[in-house]
Every structure is written in C-alpha cells, then in structure tokens.
Amino acid sequence: MDAGFWVLQFLNALQYSMLLFLLSIGLTVIFGLLHFVNLAHGALYMMGAYLGISAAALTGSYWGAFILAPLGVTLIGALLYFTLIDRLRGAGPMNQVLVTFGLIFVFLDIARLGWGDIALGLDAPAGLSGTSNLLGVAYPTYRLFIIALGAVVMAALWLVLSRTQIGAMIRASVENGDMAAAMGINVGRLFFAVFCVGCALAGLAGVVAAPVFSATTGMGISILIPTLIVVVIGGLGSLQGAIVGSLIVGFIETIGAAFLPSLAAVASYLLLAAILVLRPQGLIPARGA
C-alpha cells in the first residue's frame, strides 16, 4: 500500500479507461446522432483485434496492423450500414436490438471459422515492448502508449467537434436533426460518416488491446457491457460524457478489483442503476440526445 502501489493502480485504471473511451465515443455518438441501438459495436472491436493479428502477419509489422485493422473494420461497418443499419433506423429500438444482437453471434462464428476458438496474441512493437520508469514504478511502455493514444484521440475529437464546421454540423444534427436538414445539412451523409468513424475507433481499440489482453471470440461480448454503462452514465451523443463515463467506470472496476474484488463486479451496475433513477439523461448529455 505504498506510493508505488497507488501509481500502479492509477495507471492501470487510466489505461483501461482509454480503451473504454475509444469504444464508447463511437457508440455514444451513433446513439445520439442516429438514434440507433448498435449492440454489434463490441463485435467490431473483436474483429479489429483479429484483423490486426492477420495484418501484422501479412505485413510483418505491428504498425501495419495499427493502420489496416481500423480500415478493415470501417469497411465492415460501411457494409453493415448499407445492408442493415440504414434500413433499420426507422424500425424501432426493439428491432434494432434484436438484429444487432444477432450480429454479435454472426461475427463470433466468423471469427471462429477464420481464426479458431483459441486466444491469439499480437506482439507489441519493438520500441514499446519494454518497461518505463514512471514515478518510481516500472510500467509496461505499451500500456503508456495506450494512455497517450486515448489522450490524443480525445484531443483530436474535441478539436473537430468544437472548433470545425463539421463538428458544428454534427452538434446541430444531434440536437435537432430535422432543423439541421432544413438548413441544408446532408444529415444522411453525416450519419454515414459518423458511423464509419465509430467503427474505425472500435477497430483501433481492438488492435490496440490485442497485445495486452489477446484476441478471443468472447472479447466483444465482455467489453460491450462496460461500454454501454459508460454511454448511459456519460450521456448520449456527448464527447465530454464519454470521457467522464470512461474514467468513472475504468477507475471503479480497476480500483475496486484491487480493494474489494467481491464487490467490483457489481459496483458499476449499482452506479448505473443510481444514474438511471436520479439522472436518466446521463451526467453530461448532448442537449438534443
């Protein structure tokens, strides 16, 4: 329980929070902008890990996987959008949940057929495979890379959403899609672009997570629940909500596992229940979500 222990737990929680953020930001904006319940988002995360492993084997480089896996998942997402997502947008949440829940098992079987049902690993790049000394603690350099990557993505998304015209269009469409369309914004094209960006971030999270957690067919389902909790706690369609929700859930689950492992599994659910009762719109929702 010395200072090194606290630094280690803080870094572990921060690293897990960054992975949750990469997943939840795409999901929350899709919820807030498209009003679409996409439970297959976790499956895209799984596909990012497996495609990254294949891309690394093909190119002989982790950085090849880092680039190609998100692109591959984006292509999968675009195919899903034109064949299912766009057709189901007006079908109601129950139909959306049933179809995208079924897609989880479709992708699970695709992964089993393509890569087998065993855990596969991906080596971290040579420059990030060692450890770094941070505040007197030897911590894996690759995990620090994940933290830095999450921070860079946060900053980039904040700049795009708050300082660019495309960001203003996205905010306007989240708050009032009909009014945005009446003002000349091509909301349909914007929906598609945002959906593809969300898929790319899911694929990025998958390939980044593979060297730490390995790729398994169940990883998409296991990450989906905490990601949904992040979205509900933070608020639909909100970048700030995704950041706050990711940090809250990441720290609760990591610190809780270190101190109260018997309660860590339910702590996030208890917080979720409290949010749904006391503030069902989330802590920092987008105004029109």
Domain of 105, CATH number, reads: 1.10.3470
In total, the chain counts a number of residues equal to 289
Q: Indicate whether 219 belongs to any domain.
A: yes
pLDDT value at position 47? 95
- Closest Cα to residue 253, out of 267, 270, 274, 269? 267
What pTM, to 2 d.p., does this model score?
A: 0.89
Q: Indicate whether 286 belongs to any domain.
A: no
pLDDT value at position 35? 74
Q: Indicate whether 48 belongs to any domain.
A: yes
CA–CA dist 121, 143 (Å, integer)? 15
Q: Indicate whether 40 belongs to any domain.
A: yes
| pLDDT at residue 1 is higher than 70 | no
Range of the domain at 140: 9-278
Q: Report which listed range, 5-14, 102-111, 277-286, is most confident.
A: 102-111
Check residues 81 and 239 and name the one with the higher pLDDT.
81
- How many percent of the chain have pLDDT more than 70? 98
Q: Indicate whether 1 belongs to any domain.
A: no
Lowest pLDDT segment from 81-85, 88-92, 214-218: 88-92
Q: Indicate whether 255 belongs to any domain.
A: yes
CA–CA dist 210, 216 (Å, integer)? 9
- Domain count of the fold of the chain: 1
Q: Indicate whether 284 belongs to any domain.
A: no
pLDDT value at position 287? 59
User: Span 73-100, mean pLDDT?
Assistant: 87
pLDDT band at residue 9, thresholds of 50, 70 and 90?
confident
**In this structure, are residues 175 and 29 in contact, taking their beta carbons and an 8 Å threshold?**
no
Q: Indicate whether 287 belongs to any domain.
A: no
